[in-house]
Structure 1
């Protein structure tokens, strides 16, 4: 499958399930607290500019707006039209929150005439062909003294991991387009683990200060880095 075909398939998949995805993104126990923590890890101040790559239906955008205040700027980027429509509805009351359709690996930020102070990407790198390369590009976009924060789901390493990981594996298979496949040459949950490990390791390499946390039964990894 070509990269363009894969991208089109993913857009169709996430567009079709936008409403369900939005419900899961906002109502899953522990996830709202995680989103607030991810926004806080960006270390934003009033008046700052923050970009979210793969903003989806906009669940993180209000938390980011709380951090930058009415004088700051929040930019959410996603490639799926249906989820962006829900993000725009959610943030319509804020004149400093902007939702843009675009690719997280080639963000349409040429017209941003200000420094980007922080970049957030939650549950995104597992969908990218080259997650570590994307992290490099995001770090370059933010520049010295800024912050890049990643939050992603991967298998738990906690002592109670076996049943948690069994559920996680089932969710990954069901949420990986196309969902009609019963057998994979490369198991989706193992492929996802490799991508996330690579992305978070690259952020640690690029950062002068790092915060590492786990959330939601050890399934979600949160890494925040201050760039040197």
Structure 2
């Protein structure tokens, strides 16, 4: 475990985003764990990583750690779970909630430049999970490419993200979704945007999930929570 810790190097993000998400860390934690349907989704996302006992999994943008216990269930006490996020207060919460596990590590860093480079030859990354993350990235498809390269042939990458529903009952669901996106986009005091945040979010999510499908040889696509949450899991081609 000490060798794993020594390979991890945190990187900082802009201070305004740090401050915004830091202030709301505990509220986000409640939402992440208590919203109806979301705990089941997190368990499903962890299962989609196709992990086995002893594997190593990295969660990009782990937030307050809501997924980490589910990932730990998949790899068991012999495996390794690493959660990466850029916000200090958020990671503090994640550390509090996973402190009982000696094989779960939370690290401050940037999901687009993850502070690990395959760790070492003996600790290859078997899967990468990213939930509700790619919509925050400037180049979501490029990030997926990097995560696929990190995992390598035969590994798995799983994405779960919220975007506008395409179900028949979508209009009221999407109205609520748009309000949530606006309120969760810093700064929340901005009432009018030149480009709607939810439209930009959809574009980034579509690009990321499309890229994962392009890079994968086995693909699972699902929708959850009134059609708002899209889950895509891909197994990368073996060498």
**TM-score relative to the length of structure 1:** 0.96
Q: Look up the match of 1:188.
A: 197
Q: Which contiguous aligned blocks of 4+ residues in structure 1 show a shift greater than 6 angstroms?
A: none
Indicate the RMSD between aligned Cα atoms, in angstroms: 1.2
Structure 1: where are the runs of 5+ without partners? none
In structure 1, the partner of 2:43 is: 36
> Secondary structure at the residue paired with 1:56?
coil
- Where do 1:1-228 residues align within 5 Å? 7-110=14-117, 112-113=119-120, 114-228=123-237
Instruction: Report the Cα distance in structure 2 between the residues aligned to 1:187 and 1:8, rounded to whole angstroms.
Output: 23
Hey, what's the Cα distance between the residues in 1 that align with 2:90 and 2:13?
18
Structure 1 distance, partners of 2:118, 2:100, is: 23
Contact kept, 8 Å, 2:13 with 2:110, in 1: the verdict is no
Cα distance per residue 1:105-162 (max 9 Å; x no partner): 1111148221100000000001000000000000000000000000000000001000
CA distance in 2, matches of 1:10, 1:66: 31
Gaps of 5+ in 2: 1-11
Counterpart secondary structure, 2:157: strand
TM (norm. structure 2) is 0.92
* Separation (CA, whole Å) in 1 of partners of 2:61 and 2:34: 19
CA distance in 2 between counterparts of 1:147 and 1:9 reads 33
CA distance in 2, matches of 1:53, 1:156: 24
Tell me, what secondary structure is at the counterpart of 1:204? Answer: helix
> 1: distance between equivalents of 2:66 and 2:146?
24
